[in-house]
Structure 1
Amino acid sequence: MQFRTLCLTSALALTASSAAADMNFNRIASFATPLNMAAGEDTARETSAEIIAASGDGMTLIYTDSPLGVVGLIDITDPANPQPLGNIALDGEPTSVTVIGSTAYVGVNTSASYTAPGGKLLSIDLGTRQITGSCDLGGQPDSTAHDDAGTFVVVAIENERDEDLGDGRVPQMPAGYVSKVMVDNGVMACDTIQKIDVTGLADVAPTDPEPEFVDVNALGEIVVTMQENNHMVVIGTDGTVMSHFSAGAVDLTRIDIDDDRASLMFTGEQMGRLREPDGVQWLDDTHFMTANEGDMDGGSRSITVFSKDGTVVFESGSDYETAVIQAGHYPDKRSDAKGVEPEGMEFAVFDGTPYAFVLGERASTVSVYDTTDPTNPVFKQLLPSGVAPEGAIAIPGRNLFVTANEADLIEDGGVRAHVMIYAYQDAPAAYPQLTSAGADTLIGWGANSGMVAGEDGIVYFVNDSFYGNQPTIFTVDTTQTPARITAALPVLRDGAPAMKLDMEGITLDGNGGFWIASEGRTDHDIPHALYHVDASGEITQKVMLPEALLANELRYGFEGVTKIGDTLWMAIQREWKDDPKNHVKLVSYNTATGAWGAVHYAKAEPATGWVGLSEITAHGDFVYVVERDNQIGANAVTKKIYRIPASDMVPAELGGDLPVVTKELVRDLIPDLAANGGYIVDKIEGLAIFADGTVWVSTDNDGVDDSSGETFFWSFGKL
């Protein structure tokens, strides 16, 4: 069997040409699902956006919200300003939705148990928002799709297994099947339901197929993934099986296979990894692409293009993950399982060019491929999405693409579930803003923290304790667009990675090396400390805090370090025991004399949560600090840069009254963050200022852990 493999050089081409004439997809808006709740409802309840579809005119979105048992509607007449249209309550759990004209068809799970599955297909008029019909499906539905002519809806009846029963594997009866429901002018003909048997086909648990995802080509043929069975089925227009075949396996190289939650090492291999595909989309009447998420025994982290006779004509292998890694979106916590987990998919033709959109569930990304040649998809660009994209819909007639992102992190104080909207524009790709594409080796990165400007457009930044086994100083060339990570220097102690660091600040020592500020956490045996690192990355000096400081320490310590002459200045993020309310210390350490001192900085009263400092940078006659709250999305209030006259930075003796410095607002960063079209992220962590006053700012993506993984790295010009 011969097939083509996506070459690494193609995957490394992470961004589109900077030429303005290039067409690219850029995010223009986002919509938080709690906005669809009615006045008086408890918006603190979990909500979600899972599978999404659009009305025939492209003006209305409808998405399934399983936690609430509703479908939500959004008015996108103005796609840059989506408006809530409310929720429609359903008697059951919505699993999928597809739309023909102005009628939505929603699969609803009504199962009494795993062994007594049930479900129905509802029709909903999007104009009146009324349920107009209901067909009993006889089992638990998963995905839905319809033919181009709008004459039928096909439903994958999964009858999913109980993962907590026994070894959690198939077979677990009853078996799943595929249902085909005829439609006439929007009206379902329930008496025409065709139950298509797909048992006895797969090598894995042939008695218990679990159809997962369905799609229909222009001929009316249906392709079905059976993820747990690692099998593909193609069904003809008469409802009989045309072909079926194993989805097969992939030999993976250059992957991270260790869930150490502390480092990014893309040197592992997995031979014979079952594809176990989830999403599938026809690329033409002969070829379809699968997103190989995996479930029981596999997950090849890849995309594959099959001919409908079962021939593999393209396999990405681990190259699918390459662009994700280079953009800082790799989820290390999933390394031992399924990596970035390609899951949902969409396909559409925009202005004559066919595109496949592959959702990385754990990476919170969309990988866009030009499929002009379906046997050789060409990677085009990577889009940032909300947390855990589950569904997508393309609206090429309006040059729009939309994702539904299911994770609602309200219990963890995180961001809510979102629908995100992108426009196909005659403009450069706006994301990523920072990439390691083009480096000599594959550089993984994330959890960006403190920054410092060097010379000739070079910025250095450090990662924090999320990658505790891989403390690294990264070199960034800001003269390129997007800014490019060109080198990664490990921070070493006696030649080995320096464990027990939480690097939150970096500054130049003036002699080719660096000073690093590490935020302490004594309950995790991480000391508050300063470290001198030479040009090779070796720690040459460790400076512990004096007892006068440690006597009043709390968890939130150093956030940033800067150097003025022989003196290092460090910002302490939040109040320690001896600080007045809403006052934090700026601590000084004289590298020549060893003397310590401090001043006080008055920070904002938090509207919700807390406010603290997250960076400090000296430039000219001022010292600049980043002051931020810990709020995210619509709750964000304080994300600001202030400056302090350098003349105020006269340290007083520790243990006594500290002078309070004056501050002046330089920039509110919330408008900058909002310009990215998503929600407002919480962690502004890096600030670097070049000699000419050019400013660069960076955010921390928390190592893609309960985070969308987005890193914003931008300049707003000169001071």
Structure 2
Amino acid sequence: MQFKHSIIALGLITALSGCVLEGDDGEQGAAGPIGQQGPAGEQGISGEDGKGLPRELNIEVVGRFATGVYGKSAAEIVQFHQTSASAFAINAASNQIEVISLADIPTVSVGSPLSDESLSSVAFTFPQSVNVANDQGTETELSLGEANSIAIFEDMLAIAVAGSEKTAIGAVLFYQLDALGEGTFVKAVAAGALPDMLTFTPDGSKVLVANEGEPDTDYNLDPEGSISVVSITDSVPADLAMTINMTSDMTFSSDLLDAEDFDTDSERRQLLSTAGVKFAGPVGTTVAQDLEPEYIAVAADSQKAFVSLQDNNAIGIIDLEDMTIEVKALGFKDWADYDIDFTNKDEVPAFRRLPGVYGMYQPDSIAAYEWNGATFIVSANEGDSRDWDAFTEEVRVKDIIDPDELNMQLSVSLQSLYDETGANDGLGRLKVTSVLGDADNDGIYEALYAYGARSFSIWDQNINLVYDSGDEFEKIAAAVLGNDFNSAHTENKGDNRSDDKGGEPEAIDVGEIEGRTYAFIGQERSGDLFVYDVTNPFQATFVSHYNNRDFSLDFELDDDLANPCDPAEGMDCEHIADAGDLGPESIKFVAAEDSPNGNPLLLIGNEVSGTVTVYQVTEAD
């Protein structure tokens, strides 16, 4: 009890103490200073939604020019002049250049992409003869033939024109262009035999010319292939071109070789043949006569260039400082690793692998771009054969074993494959070269080598293969077009080219859209346009396919006739104007910052339909 009372007493004492000790409330103190709030920050920019790879692209026809001339290369090589907002296109049928205004090109697709004729042109003509300087310090008159190629740098136009005889020397004609695309003649500079393609270096300091040097059909004359280099100083071309030849200017970079190991024609031929360069010509043809430069692409630093040697299955590396060329063989594509349609007789897409059969890449057009500071080359692997009156290498597989043709044999494995695939109507249909396959010259073909690789490839600056699209072109086209795939460009007949070179990848260019680099490849025969993302050359990816052609219409023409549409020869062009674009020969990419409508454009010259088609290529929303 005492303990309990003690607690109660303690509580009372505490309460009373609180009352006694609590004093009066003091005055309220002054309020402390309030911290000043800083100004509100500006609204930040909204972040963009992440984008997957590959990105989807919209491909739309926004303009089209039609010459109305069919089967005569009335629209072939195309270039773009930014100052006049014009496309320049070679019209070989009229031997003039069509200047096509793109100033009012829309940003929406035309109503009828197949038959649109919304664009018009003004003819740009050039003389039939020019005076050119020679090594003696005087001038000579040069008679000209057809224009083969054009190139534009800023306001300078260069035209590659063959001589009146294709085996004679040609010339490069230089013009200064104005804001209307009209040209003032500057000068003509002599080039080599059959200047087939030319291009400016990226810095505009040089024009490089691929002189193909084709023989006449009887091989009475066979000029040497070469590269002409025209220097340009203060917008004035030099009077004389420098020449990179395929003899003393050829080099081999291997440290295993000394200069005396390749200072004769026979030594150069042996080294190149061993490496895989294909030679095909009459006995006595020299290396320089056999090498035929086709198409040139230049590295971004303007110090190196690359030239396709199509017939030879090679690419040459051009050193523009040392003025030398090194020829690199491209190797062969093994059709045991990819599917291929090799016969036109079944008239349907049918694929299989062919052990012992190889493809020669044989690129036509090439282009160059950079990744991580290194140069890469993209190639359209069309294929080509030497097929002249006096010499041909082209045979069908069935001709090899035909007693009335080559009268040779296939190896046991190839003969088995031949029989298994349908003999004459199967593998026998495939066109191959007769100069490769019988390595030991015992009369038995151990391998077969077909023309082209039916693909596009990426090569590094040493011409090592980085990427190849494999069998995708044929499979994509077959999936989209069905039986119309691999059609010819002179008639709507599906599977028509499977025994030749497939759709024949012919034209190629590269360009950047929204920070990604794309390759655009056009197939000459079937008209397919393929787009690949090649930003990282080691991870190239298919993006899109487009074909501006109506396969339901009946037409037929023959571009070997004086009148390709001659009804007396059984030709029928009644509906061809509505058939769309036939025979894409060249592609020119126009970046968004240079484009008249502010969007990236593709200019495509179609030689059989005689049309120039303008595509707008943008990222899909």
TM-score range, shorter chain: 0.5 to 0.7
Q: What's 2:365 paired with?
A: 279
Q: 1:261 to 1:142 in 2, by over 3 A?
A: farther
Q: Which amino acid aligns with 2:293?
A: P
What TM-score comes out, normalization by structure 2 length? 0.59
Whether contact under 8 Å (1:26, 1:383) holds in the other structure is: no
- Match for residue 83 of structure 1 among 117, 120, 139: 120
Tell me how far 1:90 sits from its aligned partner: 4.6
Q: 1:268 to 1:216 in 2, by over 3 A?
A: same
Q: Structure 2 matches for 1:590-605, cutoff 5 A?
A: none
Tell me how far 1:250 sits from its aligned partner: 0.2
The answer on 1:224 being equivalent to 2:307 is yes
Distance, in Å, in 2 between the alignment partners of 1:150 and 1:317 is 36
- Match for residue 509 of structure 2 among 331, 346, 359: 346
Whether contact under 8 Å (1:392, 1:401) holds in the other structure is: no
Distance, in Å, in 1 between the alignment partners of 2:170 and 2:325 is 27
Tell me how far 1:97 sits from its aligned partner: 0.8
Q: 1:46 to 1:303 in 2, by over 3 A?
A: closer
SS at 1:250's partner residue?
A: strand
Q: What's 1:418 paired with?
A: 611
Tell me how far 1:405 sits from its aligned partner: 3.3
Distance, in Å, in 1 between the alignment partners of 2:319 and 2:96 is 33
Distance, in Å, in 2 between the alignment partners of 1:29 and 1:120 is 33
The answer on 1:383 being equivalent to 2:546 is yes
Tell me how far 1:117 sits from its aligned partner: 2.3
Q: What's 2:456 paired with?
A: 303
Distance, in Å, in 2 between the alignment partners of 1:182 and 1:122 is 14
Whether contact under 8 Å (2:193, 2:224) holds in the other structure is: no
Q: Which runs of no fewer than 5 residues in structure 2 stay unpaired?
A: 1-50, 107-117, 129-144, 248-267, 280-286, 386-432, 434-450, 488-494, 549-580
SS at 1:323's partner residue?
A: helix
C-alpha RMSD over aligned residues: 2.6
Q: What's 2:529 paired with?
A: 366
Q: Which amino acid aligns with 2:243?
A: K
Q: Which runs of no fewer than 5 residues in structure 1 stay unpaired?
A: 1-16, 35-42, 409-415, 429-719
Q: Which amino acid aligns with 1:323?
A: I
Q: What's 1:174 paired with?
A: 223
Q: 1:222 to 1:349 in 2, by over 3 A?
A: same
The answer on 1:260 being equivalent to 2:327 is no
Q: Structure 2 matches for 1:319-338, cutoff 5 A?
A: 319-328=472-481, 329-331=485-487, 332-338=495-501
Whether contact under 8 Å (1:54, 1:60) holds in the other structure is: yes
The answer on 1:318 being equivalent to 2:400 is no
Whether contact under 8 Å (1:282, 1:289) holds in the other structure is: yes
Tell me how far 1:290 sits from its aligned partner: 1.2
Q: 1:24 to 1:190 in 2, by over 3 A?
A: farther
- Match for residue 215 of structure 1 among 259, 275, 297: 297
Distance, in Å, in 1 between the alignment partners of 2:346 and 2:96 is 36
Tell me how far 1:18 sits from its aligned partner: 12
Q: 1:364 to 1:44 in 2, by over 3 A?
A: closer
Q: Structure 2 matches for 1:375-524, cutoff 5 A?
A: 375-385=538-548, 386-396=581-591, 397=593, 398=595, 399-408=599-608, 416-427=609-620
Q: 1:317 to 1:426 in 2, by over 3 A?
A: closer
What TM-score comes out, normalization by structure 1 length? 0.51
Q: What's 1:69 paired with?
A: 95
SS at 2:354's partner residue?
A: strand
Q: Which amino acid aligns with 2:207?
A: V
- Match for residue 147 of structure 2 among 87, 90, 94: 94
Structure whose residues are more often strand by fraction: 1
Q: Which amino acid aligns with 1:273?
A: G
CA deviation string 1:564-585 (max 9, x = no partner): xxxxxxxxxxxxxxxxxxxxxx
Whether contact under 8 Å (1:51, 1:391) holds in the other structure is: yes
Q: 1:23 to 1:267 in 2, by over 3 A?
A: closer
Q: What's 1:32 paired with?
A: 66
Count of paired positions:
388
Structure whose residues are more often helix by fraction: 2
- Match for residue 191 of structure 2 among 137, 147, 153: 137
Q: What's 1:195 paired with?
A: 243
Distance, in Å, in 2 between the alignment partners of 1:22 and 1:302 is 21
Distance, in Å, in 2 between the alignment partners of 1:380 and 1:418 is 25
CA deviation string 1:411-443 (max 9, x = no partner): xxxxx4110111123447xxxxxxxxxxxxxxx
If asked which structure has higher relative contact order (CA below 8 Å, sep 6+), I would say 2
Whether contact under 8 Å (1:76, 1:83) holds in the other structure is: no
Whether contact under 8 Å (2:84, 2:101) holds in the other structure is: no
The answer on 1:119 being equivalent to 2:170 is yes
Whether contact under 8 Å (1:389, 1:403) holds in the other structure is: no
Q: 1:261 to 1:402 in 2, by over 3 A?
A: farther
Whether contact under 8 Å (1:109, 1:119) holds in the other structure is: yes
Distance, in Å, in 2 between the alignment partners of 1:47 and 1:313 is 34
